[in-house]
Structure 1
Amino acid sequence: MGRRPLLILCLLVAVSLGAGVATADPVSATASPSSGDSPPTANDSFPVTLTDATGTAVTVDSRPERITTTNPSAAQTMWTLGAADQVVGVTQYASYLDGAEQRDNVSAAGLGVSIERVVATEPDLVLAPNATSRETVATLRDANLTVYHFPAATDFEAVAAKTQTTGRLTGNTAAAAETNAWMWQNVAATESQTADAARQRVLYPLLGGFAVGNNTFIDEIITTAGGENVAASEFDGYRQLNDETVIALDPEVLIVTDQTEGQILGSTPYSQTAAGQNNRTATLSVQYLNQPAPRSVVYSTSNLSAQLHPDSAADVSTTTEDGDPATGVSAPGFGIGVAVAALVAIVASARLRERP
């Protein structure tokens, strides 16, 4: 058994046995795993000091009641933890979250955030994902704000670590543990459904000729959903692909989002690939696909899986509040029986991947 299955086992056992984790009524993956209030628990002692991506030891003296997020992935995580009531500031790209319009918009006129707007929210804590520059973080700190800067989340384990850190900093450790168990359980369910399916060659092209390569959480979304990211063999991260390389990679399926739909399939060089010639696309929501956070992992993997392998995924998919298919596995509060069933799926999929 690999490192991820072992991690999932620990999470499932902890949650199913109630080891310091608050439980909720079972709900499907269509709902957030912690939809109600998440008060402090015995694990939420303060002050807490954690070292962030800048190497700074960040101390939060007491449970923060005013939190500002500088990137939508941080806001999505807070909403998923059931802690939206602690958030006072969000960026414009978090507007899809229920009630986000009631928070202060801290986006700058162009890209990034407005220092003045962030300061004006009078936050106890600023959660700054890696998309926020270190220069911005330093400027916010110069304004006497407490800022935690997250490292890049390049895979699902990094998303889980980010969720755990967010829970600890904000006094929502129980909700974070539930959320991670919910995420891993749904990932295992998706993997088990596509374990025997043939891998289709997939490319996620961005505007300007860029594409998504290896060592990204989106690459893991593609592989978990039963696809093969053809750009993963070319580079890590996000880079441009020239026309000749796109044609040579010859993807069978192109991922499009509400931002790129209508601008990819019929344009060169994509129109000259198998996907273009066969009119094969998978449409995903950009607000989930491009944001490394728990809902993004669950919704995007299940949605993509349902489109790549409709016969395999049909019996486990349902519809989220956003209209996206999502697995029907229970969210936090699932109990020992479902936990054991999920563990069986995890171990089975791990063994399938380890076969020569």
Structure 2
Amino acid sequence: MHIRRIGVVGIAVLVMIGFVSPLAAAGTTGVAGVGSAPTADKSNLTCSFPLTVTDDTGTEIELEERPESVVTINPSAAQTMWEIGAEDQVVGTTQHAENLEGAEDRTSISTESETIEHEIIIDLDPDLVLAPSSNYVTEEDVETLRGAGVTVYYFDSATSIDDVRDRTHTIGSLVGECDGAAETVDWMDEELAIVEDALEGEERPDVLYTFFGFTAGEETFIHELIEAAGGTNVAAEAGIAEYQQPTDEMIVEQDPEWLVLNTNSPEVPDAPAYESTTAVETNQTVTIKTNHLNRPGPRVVHAVTAMAEAFHPEAYAEAVADAETESETDADDESQADSDSGSDSDSDSDSTDDSDGLPGFGIVSASAALLALLGSLAVIRHGDRNP
């Protein structure tokens, strides 16, 4: 897609179709009054039914039994369902979730104008609708569906990686996949722990995210991802909040060492201000999949690791190797313990090994394959889970 100038209407369209992540200020989009809704108590989450929970509108939701048919009206919810192993329960998605394997077999609930079609959802008669807030999920949408007898669970926009963890657990509880949710969050934590180890003692490079001539400043989800990956978001440093067009003066003054692009806008803007930056002069750009960068679901981890690998290649490679070595050592110790236990003549001959191996070991081992990618810092990191 070629770089082009777009106006206020253009950026509004981009927001609607998911090119721009949710704003960080709770309650700025979606159902009115959501910002003051009570926060769910994650310690009480359960996968037993009947289940009664309160969503982020303060509405009490009752599920008599595990929902067998689920509609997701935001791609982040669909992505989470796929990640926790609950994709077979999904019967309807928006067209922007079509990147998920098998999503084309689900009913599209989108209209040509990028909104949701209430009648299609009602006709599907789902047991549950998952509705993370977005610019095209409104109070009227939720009320219309509830008025037709549809059970809708509404979420505030995720504003942090912690929010993504919480929503993953919540969705797992709602659809009866607590184990899958826990495994997904464990995977996220393992990958992010490697990044944290890599960043210890490292200097943070100055980073600018650019898409269609805009950038992301403070109060954006992307700002947090850049910071988590070990970069300094110069847009935030320059006082930009939310999504704005940076001035040429700001770009020149901040002189980013890295440019972050996305797959919907993968080219550096053709402007002298960008050409003068250290990032362009040294060819330090990294292109991230839009589905990883702009959708607050578990796969945002891929965006963080791809940026960390680009910004801190040697430190990241070392952290991956250390994690693999530690996992191999733990696995060897466990194997030796099992062997010693089996040689004990007093042990119960009918006992079995309760362990299926070190949790997450396969994931960490797969991460080692990323070392081969270090020769090209502008590539997209696919990671060990589905894109």
**Alignment TM-score, normalising by the size of structure 1:** 0.73
Q: The residue matched to 1:220 in structure 2 has which SS?
A: helix
Instruction: Measure the CA separation in 1 of the matches of 2:115 and 2:276.
Output: 36
Counterpart in the other structure of 1:202: 207
- Which secondary structure does the structure 1 equivalent of 2:286 belong to? strand
Matched, 1:335 2:353: no
Q: Determine which structure has more spread, i.e. the larger CA radius of gyration.
A: 2
Distance 1:316 1:122, change over 3 A: farther
For 2:309, the equivalent position in structure 1 comes to: 306
For residues 1-356 of structure 1, the aligned pairs below 5 Å read 43-131=46-134, 132-207=137-212, 209-233=213-237, 234-262=239-267, 264-267=268-271, 269-297=273-301, 299-315=302-318, 335=358
1:168–1:152 CA distance, 2 compared to 1 (3 A): same
Q: Residues 111, 280 of structure 1: CA spacing in aligned structure 2 closer, same or farther, 3 A cutoff?
A: same
Query: Structure 2: how far apart are the matches of 1:48 and 1:269?
Result: 56
Distance in 1 between residues matched to 2:139 and 2:274, nearest whole Å? 36
The 2-side partners of 1:48 and 1:235 are apart by 43
Name the CA distance, whole Å, in 2 between partners of 1:101 and 1:252.
Answer: 40
CA distance in 2, matches of 1:301, 1:63: 33
Superposed CA offset, 1:40-76 (max 9, x none) = xx94112222222222222222110100101111011
Worse-matched range after superposition: 172-181 or 264-273: 264-273
Partner of 2:371: none
Distance 1:269 1:296, change over 3 A: same
Between 271-280 and 133-142, the greater mean CA deviation after superposition: 271-280
In 2 relative to 1, CA 271–138 (structure 1 residues): closer, same or farther, beyond 3 Å?
farther
**Change in 2 beyond 3 A, CA 1:334/1:156:** farther
- The root-mean-square deviation of aligned C-alpha atoms, in Å, is 2.7
User: Residues of 2 paired with 1:71 and 1:91: CA distance?
Assistant: 7
SS at match of 2:232: strand
Secondary structure (helix, strand or coil) at the match of 1:255 reads strand
**Equivalent pair of 2:69/2:127 in contact (CA under 8 Å):** yes
TM-score, length-normalised on structure 2?
A: 0.68
Q: Partner letter of residue 285 of structure 1?
A: K
State the identity as a percent: 41
Cα deviation for residue 203 of structure 1 reads: 1.4
1:254-285 CA distance string (max 9 Å, x none): 111110012x3433643343323333211111
Cα drift, residue 313 of structure 1:
1.8
Aligned residues: 286
- Cα 1:60–1:310 change in 2 (3 A) is same
Match in the other structure for 2:34: none
C-alpha contact 1:54 1:134 (8 A) present in aligned 2: no
